[in-house]
Structure 1
Amino acid sequence: MAAWAVAVVAAAGPVAPTHDVRAAAPPGRPNVLLLPMDDARTGQTFAMPKALAWLSDNGKLFGEHGLPEKFMPYLQAERVPLPISWPGHIPAGSDRRLAANLDITPTVLAAAGLTPSFQVDGRDLLAPGDRRALLTEYWRDPANGAGIPSWASTVVPGRYRYTEIYDDAFTVTDREYYDLARDPWQLTNPLQDGSTRPALAAALARQRTCTGRDCP
């Protein structure tokens, strides 16, 4: 399982990353580093971080839904914590807002005082506001198992999850819908009879082509 640390470090301090600096800051601004936790544990030295975020790959399923892997859209394989530390700026405690890995970039750029010159997906987690839904997608990769198809899924935590399964031409071959208020373990799919949810299908199509901070 991959694990990563994102650090915002003072520009004047020593920087010796084992991976490229992803955002070289102008003079007087912090640097932003992305490094694997495996490398971070090997004695590499860094300036004292201003802010630090830890993020992990999603976890494997251990028999849930009859699957031994993590490449299908079920919450048990998706929920991971996202610890962020910034002494003096973020108080100790927990934040129950829905977040995603694409929020790391705008959050780190905001912490570093950097303004991107390009469109950034995701949201600055240091700012107020919440996302209502989250889009997750997977493109078939034979290296992960030939039987795992491409899919796209939209989830509103505590309410519902809608998923479309695609063939290699991205034609819908199957659909799944779960009422997460009544079925939080995603066990009963009422669309097994071939029925559809046109409004949710349209919402998913919009989300898949959306860009910017207001996208799920």
Structure 2
Amino acid sequence: MPPLAVLGKHQSRWNYITVEDVLEVAGKFDQHRIPLDFIWLDLEHTNQKRYFTWDPDHFPREGVRRMLDELNRTQRKLVTIIDPHLFAGDADYAVAARMKGQGFLVKRPGNSSSPAQDFEGFCWPGPSNYPDFCDPRMRREWAKLFDFSSYPGWPAEIYTWNDMNEPSVFDGPEISLPRDTLHRCHEDEYSIEHREVHNLYGFYVHEASTQ
């Protein structure tokens, strides 16, 4: 069952880009005596749209701790966004490197002269890879990213917004993964086309996030 608190009053806008923005918005709700239970943070809280990170300038660790303490004092919760596309242009981005290194990304089909390669599409961060949520091994690895150590103060204070898990591919033929993109479901080889599992992709994102 979902937590009872999620039936409360929620506030979400794209442009909360600093700790001070969040605290000011919460304060305005108090000032005008408007009920508020949750504040949602969009992409700008991350370090250059790398999910499972905080922007080091606008959401520094000590600032996040101060923000969470204030929200907790007023019995409010925070929700942060997680999208399944991972920026492919930064070898130091640990989440993407972890998925790529373990072979947990969907593949672009190959041919007799060229093997299948990791699929790369364009989304908010720029060139992006897409985790293969049909692979149960990948889902177990994704679930580990929600360990309490991922964010300062994660326990009981931060909730997750799973977003754009259609999955969104801005330069895709249908703004999603091409139908012939390959998945590795319960087999050792990439043999399942995306057309067969499109509706399962988002479901498995949620399943992995709750594990």
Q: RCO greater where, 1 or 2, for CA within 8 Å and sep 6 or more?
A: 2
TM-score normalised over the length of structure 2: 0.29
Structure label with greater radius of gyration: 1
The structure carrying a bigger helix percent of its residues is 2
